[in-house]
Amino acid sequence: MDDSSNKSDRKLRTASQLVHGGGMRSEFGETSEAIFLTSGYVYPDAETAQARLAGDEPGFVYSRYANPTVKMLEDRLSIIEGAAACRATASGMAAIHAALVAPVKSGDRVVAARALFGSCTWILDNLLPRYGVEVEFVDGYDLEGWKRALSRPVKSVLIETPSNPLLDAVDISAVADLTHAAGGELIVDNVFATPILQRPLELGADWVTYSCTKHMDGQGRVLGGAILGKDAEAMEEVFAGYLKHTGPAISPFNAWTILKGLETLALRVDKMCDNARIVADFLAAQPSVRAVRYPGRKDHPHFDIHSRQMSSGGSLISFSIEGGKDAAFRVLNSLELVSISNNLGDAKSLICHPATTTHRTLTDEQRAMIGLDQSWVRLSVGLEDAADVCDDLERALSTLR
Ligand SMILES: *Cc1c(COP(=O)(O)O)cnc(C)c1O
């Protein structure tokens, strides 16, 4: 294998790294990255097998540990994120699960922002406390709350920004400083922003997690996840063994699909952001829309932080519909172009009603604490002509009059 990313020391820019970063060519000289759809590897002799498994000789031994196609994905993600190390996983949740569980032991403390992807809240609420880990939630926007929570020692802090489902902001550098002062490490779930719009490691985060299922695949095909960090030794010590022995390995086919998705990531994210801006402004002018939350609009309550740490408003919009759940359901059911789905970051525009789907497992009280009532819908703007998306929304909203 020839590591084509190492041809010279030239530092390529992100758009070029998305196409070339981490690429390896086999002796056949293929243009497109190869899919090594193999679970195992053969050795020329027993001595080599012994040396490989002992780690005394480089090389692949089993695809639960590492695989050439998966390695290309990990290397490309590391390069675009500016990370020292990356491990790809079978899904975004596998990455976050590892990020939360692998470092902690009974008696440790974890602090998290309250507004998170539903399954992250589930792990923090249900899993960690069972193993004797104390978990505390904080309003992600409230720096005083972070100061209070991080006045005691902490092992890990988890934030998501922009967050699910109301696109709240968390000040990454301020929370990173407070986390480090409390002796902990900051994990940022950067799915909504993508590495194109926001760079948590540069803002002080220690770990970044992705659901590659979202914008990175971007065409609704496969699941995948990744955990990236600045410290290659810590990745080895804390996560490599954990991932190897617990087995959330990504399929080489899925890794390949995501690799190909990365080639067009910047183009797609830029176009989605342009579209989302148009759709957000359109929604804000609709009489039956009570409020619009788009990180790129000045009327977003956390616009100051979003505009400091994100280079654009992103592809997601949340909006509140006059008339609560019934009206929200009527609008969703009247859409023809935009599909009802809890996925996001797709080429197709997708809409969901978080209170009854992605955030249904939260108690009423938990939902109230993140400001999520039944009137909110979350729209992931895709790659269609923005005018068609606006027409579809206008037609659906007109059913309320
Ligand atoms: C989708 C998502 C996840 C989980 O990723 P999967 O690939 O579905 O496991 C985690 N965090 C955020 C913000 C997400 O949008």
Distance 237 CA to ligand 1 centre (A): 25
Domains of the chain: 2-262 (3.40.640.10), 266-398 (3.90.1150.10)
Helices (H) and strands (E) in the chain, counts: 16, 14
Contact present, 384 and 348 (Cβ < 8 Å): yes
Residue 384: how many other CB atoms lie within 10 Å: 16
CA 63 to centroid of chain Cα atoms: 24
Contact present, 85 and 235 (Cβ < 8 Å): yes
Distance 234 CA to ligand 1 centre (A): 24
Q: Tell me: the pLDDT tens digits for 77-135?
A: 999 999 999 999 999 999 999 999 999 999 999 999 999 998 999 999 999 999 999 99
Q: Once rounded to an integer, what is the mean pLDDT over residues 378-401?
A: 97
* Per-residue CA distances from 307 to 299, 312, 352 (Å): 12, 7, 26
Q: Tell me: the pLDDT tens digits for 244-276?
A: 999 999 999 999 999 999 999 999 999 999 999
Largest CA distance in the chain: 77
Under 8 Å CB-to-CB from 316, ≥6 apart: which residues? 162, 167, 192, 276, 294, 344, 378, 379, 380, 381
For ligand 1, atom 6, name the residue with the nearest CA. 92
pLDDT interval class at 3 (50, 70, 90): low
For ligand 1, atom 5, name the residue with the nearest CA. 92
Neighbour-count burial of 39, counting CB atoms closer than 10 A to its CB (0-12 exposed, 13-18 middle, 19+ buried): exposed
Q: Tell me: the pLDDT tens digits for 273-291?
A: 999 999 999 999 999 999 9
Q: pTM for the whole thing?
A: 0.96
Computed over every residue of the chain, the mean pLDDT equals 96
Ligand 1 nearest-atom number relative to CA 224 = 7
Distance 400 CA to ligand 1 centre (A): 32
Q: How far apart are CA 209 and CA 198, in angstroms?
A: 12
Asked if residue 59 has pLDDT above 60, the reply is: yes
